[in-house]
Amino acid sequence: MRATDAIKTTQYFIGKIPIFGICMGNQVTALALGGKTYKMKFGHRGSNQPVRYYDGRIFITTQNHGFAVDGGETLPEGCEKLFTNVNDGTWKGSILKT
C-alpha cells in the first residue's frame, strides 16, 4: 500500500474536521476509513467523465486515475455513496455523517 502518510494523516483528522477528497483523495479517505481500493481494467482518463450525484443530478468531471474505491462492504456503516460514475458505476465520492 502506498500513500501511507496521507492515509495516517487522514485517519487522525477523521471526526475532527470535515474532509473532502477528490480523485486520489477519495481513495485515501476510503482507505483511512478501512475501505479497500482495486485496480481498474480501464482507468478513467479525460475531461468528460459523467458522475451522478446522489440526488440524480449529473456533473461532467475531469479524471485521471486507474484505481477505484470498493465501496460495497468495505466502508464503515453509515458511509453512503455520494457520487457514482455514470459509465461504469464506480464509487466516486462518499459521505460519512458521523
Q: Give the range of the structural domain holding residue 85, as residue numbers without chain letter.
A: 4-96
**Non-local CB neighbours of 34 within 8 Å, separated by 6+ positions:** 74, 75, 76
CATH number at 89 reads 3.40.50.880
Q: What's the structural domain count of the chain?
A: 1
Answer whether residue 97 shows pLDDT above 70.
Answer: yes
pTM of the model: 0.84
Residues 47-79: tens digit of each pLDDT: 999 999 999 999 999 999 899 999 777 888 888
In angstroms, the first-to-last Cα distance of the chain is 26
